[in-house]
Amino acid sequence: MQKIKNIAVIAHVDHGKTTLVDQLLQQSGTYADHQEVQERAMDSNDIEKERGITILSKNTAITYGDHKINIIDTPGHADFGGEVERVLNMVDGVLLLVDAQEGVMPQTKFVLKKAIGFGLIPVVVINKIDKDGSDPERVLDEVFDLLVALDANEDQLEFPVLYAAARDGYAKWEMEDESKDMIPLFDAIIEKVPYPVGSPENDTQAQVFTLDSDNFVGRIGITRIFNGKVKKGDEYLLVKADGSKTKSRISKLIGFKGLDRIEISEAEAGDIVAIAGFSDIDVGDSICDKSNPVALDPMHVEEPTLSVIMSVNNGPLAGQEGKHVTSNKIQERLEKEMETNIAMRMEPMGDASFKVSGRGELQIGILAENMRREGFEFMLARPEVVTKEENGVKMEPFEHLVVDVPEEFQGVAIEKLGKRKANMTLLTPMPDGTIRLEFEIPARGLIGFRNEFLTDTKGEGIMNHSYLEYRAYTGVVVSRTPGALVSMDDGEAVAFSIFNLQSRGVMFISPQEKVYSGMVIGESARPGDLDVNPLKGKALTNMRTSGTDEAVKLVTPRKITLESAMEWIEEDELIEITPESVRIRKKSLDANERKRNARNKKNSK
């Protein structure tokens, strides 16, 4: 029987997980000579590469001495917390990375809490010790205090600690040790992470934690084998969360080696392999012995906290840029997403619209971004938090928020967050002269806050947040103050009128861009919406003769991205998303109707 270790690498965003996995792949000699590999090799999909963040958990395998180590790299961003939760039950240990300067951050708490909940003993890796301002001892204290606060047991409090610079390829047991290579970390994994329990002699039990597909064999489930063996060509039972069972034969069995996948004929308890042959295989399903099927516990992840209504584009420019524009197509795509993404939910709302729920704006935004790249066209409304009722009390999600600001911005940060119903729990002066403020805040209060915060702190503030728990609803939270500049005509925007409108606020559009009545073309400098005309040209003769046209200098418009739009829009606005454009519009395109609605709203208050 092969000696196997299964680990997940977990941490707050950017603390160096994927970079560490690079080095483990590199230094274990997993790559073939001359194999060309990119930096952060595990971040393999397009959006991950573009943004330099991990979105999906992915597994790889290396050989170290006589051991096989299966490693799962996980995302650190709070919105993808479900990706961490779904893999923690598949491993027997975790490497918890903590940035030696930033220390324990909101998502460090979230992932460690989950790991502790699964009974795992973390191997703590204090990373980026090369950084100026790093303070490994302070960070170690923070980790210890956190474990105590999380009610860790005695074994867990005895966690091993290493100091590392993943980027520079070394880890060591003591700060004084020589900075050489990753061998101390390999040794820590071998010594400190327990072997898988379960036996190849038992009846087969395996669980799917990732779904994949292959043009030739169809759906593939990446599974952890907990007991028994799986053999190519043999028949097994697939047991779903609802208890339904289907019998099928394994048509292809795939093993992992570095970035490669290799066909194998058999694998046994403790290992992680990919299985093809079950046409309706889903994340969380069990693959069991056909005569004695004992299903594994279905996966549990935290419920979504944020939802957005996605609907068919019905604006004047609808259908011009997208390939898939119908309600049926959108529904099909969303249903497919829900099969693999166990942290998201989708609910048809009638009226060609769907409620899509997830952990945050980024998670929903990435789904929308993937869809537009696939040729979809649709609209999104303002994100709303998912409230629920407990014993007759309305509850809403709260987040743990940490902001780091230069001292001079401390006041404005506290003031603005106060308006958003944040409750300050901690104020810590940091060694680099900045102030760290910690808050508990309703998730609602964070919608649209990032932009304002960056402006208020002249781009120097850093904010991080992560899901805390549901608490009683807190009443009204302030939202965007500036109004919208709304086009009152259809056509192509004209440079000269954009120039004239610049004094009214910040423009979102450039000359020649298509606009329509009811489309938002800029942010007004004042509260309250303003109907404006971006099509009003100057008579041509004038243009040629006046000479003053030299002065028509246009300010670069603010670029509307999917996520900035999600942060920015109000309840009466929508985002129109196509493969080529992201536009903001009023829900009601008719100016008179908008005025009527506004009046009614005011009267009802």
Place of tokens 């460090």: 108
CA 83/CA 91 separation, integer angstroms: 13
**Beta-sheet strands, E only, within 215-300:** 218-227, 229-231, 235-239, 245-249, 252-257, 260-264, 266-268, 272-276, 286-288
CA 510/CA 492 separation, integer angstroms: 10
Choice from 6, 14, 79, 264 touching ligand GTP (CB under 6 A): 14
Residue 21 or 565: the one with the smaller Cβ distance to ligand GTP is 21
Neighbours of 179 (CB within 10 A): 15
Task: Give residues with Cβ within 8 angstroms of 137, minimum separation 6.
Answer: none
Interface residues toward Mg ion, by CB under 5 A: 17-18, 54
Residue 171 or 582: the one with the smaller Cβ distance to Mg ion is 171
Residue 131 or 345: the one with the smaller Cβ distance to ligand GTP is 131
Shortest Cβ distance from residue 12 to ligand GTP (Å)? Answer: 7
The conformation of residue 463, written as its DSSP 8-state character, comes to: E
Task: Give residues with Cβ within 8 angstroms of 53, minimum separation 6.
Answer: 13, 14, 43, 75, 76, 77
Between helix 183-192 and helix 17-27 the angle, nearest 10°, is: 100
Q: How far apart are the first and last CA of the chain?
A: 71
Task: Give residues with Cβ within 8 angstroms of 550, minimum separation 6.
Answer: none
Residues in a beta bridge with 254: 263, 274
Phi, psi (degrees; rounded to nearest 5) at 507: -85, 150
| Residue 108 touching ligand GTP (CB under 6 A) | no
Q: What is the dihedral of CA 385, 519, 366, 107, to 10 degrees?
A: -40
Choice from 7, 8, 10, 16 touching ligand GTP (CB under 6 A): 16
Shortest Cβ distance from residue 228 to ligand GTP (Å)? Answer: 34
Shortest Cβ distance from residue 335 to ligand GTP (Å)? Answer: 28
Closest CA to 39 of 25, 28, 60: 25
128 interface partner picked from ligand GTP, Mg ion, none, CB below 5 to 8 A per type:
ligand GTP
Residue 77 or 480: the one with the smaller Cβ distance to Mg ion is 77
| Residue 13 touching ligand GTP (CB under 6 A) | yes
Which helix (H) or strand (E) covers residue 241, if one does?
none
Residue number with the smallest Cβ distance to ligand GTP: 76
166 interface partner picked from ligand GTP, Mg ion, none, CB below 5 to 8 A per type:
ligand GTP
Q: Is 41 helix (H, G, I), strand (E, B) or coil?
A: coil
Choice from 127, 363, 457, 524 touching ligand GTP (CB under 6 A): 127
Contact between 422 and 399 under an 8 Å Cβ cutoff? The reply is: no
Residue 18 or 466: the one with the smaller Cβ distance to Mg ion is 18
Shortest Cβ distance from residue 273 to ligand GTP (Å)? Answer: 24
Choice from 24, 27, 61, 76 touching ligand GTP (CB under 6 A): 76
Q: Is 337 helix (H, G, I), strand (E, B) or coil?
A: helix
Contact between 529 and 494 under an 8 Å Cβ cutoff? The reply is: no
Interface stretch with ligand GTP, choices 7-15, 254-262, 266-274, 287-295 (CB under 6 A): 7-15
| Residue 131 touching ligand GTP (CB under 6 A) | yes
Contact between 282 and 219 under an 8 Å Cβ cutoff? The reply is: no
Shortest Cβ distance from residue 112 to ligand GTP (Å)? Answer: 14
The site for ligand GTP, by CB under 6 A, has a size of 23
Choice from 15, 229, 465, 586 touching ligand GTP (CB under 6 A): 15
| Residue 181 touching ligand GTP (CB under 6 A) | no
Neighbours of 21 (CB within 10 A): 24
Residue 15 or 465: the one with the smaller Cβ distance to ligand GTP is 15
Residue 102 or 271: the one with the smaller Cβ distance to ligand GTP is 102
Please, what's the largest Cα pairwise distance for the chain? 91
Give, in order, the Cα–Cα distances in Å from 177 to each of 21, 143, 183, 566: 22, 21, 13, 48
| Residue 58 touching ligand GTP (CB under 6 A) | no
Residue 128 or 232: the one with the smaller Cβ distance to ligand GTP is 128
Which helix (H) or strand (E) covers residue 112, if one does?
helix 106-117
Shortest Cβ distance from residue 73 to ligand GTP (Å)? Answer: 7
Residue 179 or 423: the one with the smaller Cβ distance to ligand GTP is 179
| Residue 128 touching ligand GTP (CB under 6 A) | yes
Shortest Cβ distance from residue 121 to ligand GTP (Å)? Answer: 21
Around 394, how many Cα atoms within 13 Å sit in the side-chain half-sphere?
7
In the shown chain, the binding pattern of residues 138 to 177 toward ligand GTP, with x for contact by CB under 6 A and - for none, equals: ---------------------------xxxx---------
In the shown chain, the binding pattern of residues 23 to 42 toward ligand GTP, with x for contact by CB under 6 A and - for none, equals: -----------------x--
Place of tokens 């061998």: 183
Residue 424 or 430: the one with the smaller Cβ distance to ligand GTP is 430
504 interface partner picked from ligand GTP, Mg ion, none, CB below 5 to 8 A per type:
none
130 interface partner picked from Mg ion, ligand GTP, none, CB below 5 to 8 A per type:
ligand GTP
Binding site for ligand GTP (CB under 6 A): 11, 13-19, 40, 52-54, 75-77, 127-128, 130-131, 165-168
